[in-house]
Amino acid sequence: MSKESGTITRQREGHVLRAFGEEVIVHLDGEHTSGKLAMWTNITPPGGGSPPHYHSNEDETFYVLEGRVAFLADGQWRENSTFKNVGDQPSRILITATPSGFERFFARCAEESRSRGGAPDMARLVAIAEFISCCSHGPVGRFASQRAAM
């Protein structure tokens, strides 16, 4: 049991990141949870969502707050997973990842998107994922084509 005090966050408060046409509000990150978990709200436009991927280090939970979202999980959390907003309004999903770390990937992707004017360099994003050791997407060409197909 942890001797550290808890952290209180309010709904819709947190550090806002933007990448891939999505908005992420980070409520808790590894710095505030001693690396145990991260929690954020993912706001996804209609038709948007994550490309198929897998996590080698994290387990994720998803709680759909608003909208219609479809999931592909290949029967396991750590195998080829993805989500997509299948509705006609933005979706809001509360996501947790244990341990923390994935929030750093998204933060670096947001920096990359800002520096490139919003158009991501897929090879650079895969390199960021490998550097942070939190998420793998497979070969760059496959990752880009799967994202485009969503």
Distance CA 106, CA 19 (A): 8
pLDDT reported for residue 9: 74
What's the whole-number average pLDDT of the chain?
75
Average pLDDT over residues 2-16: 71
Widest pairwise Cα distance in the chain: 47
Predicted TM-score (pTM) of the model is 0.74
Distance CA 116, CA 84 (A): 24
Task: Say yes or no to pLDDT of 146 above 50.
Answer: no
**Domain layout of the chain by residue ranges:** 15-149
| Helix residue ranges, H only, the chain | 30-33, 102-115, 122-132, 140-149
Identify the CATH class of 15-149. mainly beta
3-state secondary structure of 145: helix
For residue 47, how many other CB atoms are within 10 A of its CB? 12
CB 6 within 8 A of CB 25: no
Q: Which two tokens stand for residue 86?
A: 């299948």
Which helix (H) or strand (E) covers residue 126, if one does?
A: helix 122-132
DSSP state of 14: S
Please state the separation of Cα 37 from the chain's center in Å: 13
Tell me the per-residue pLDDT of 57-106, one tens digit each, with 9 for 90 and over. Answer: 778 889 999 999 988 765 554 445 678 899 999 999 999 988 888 888 77
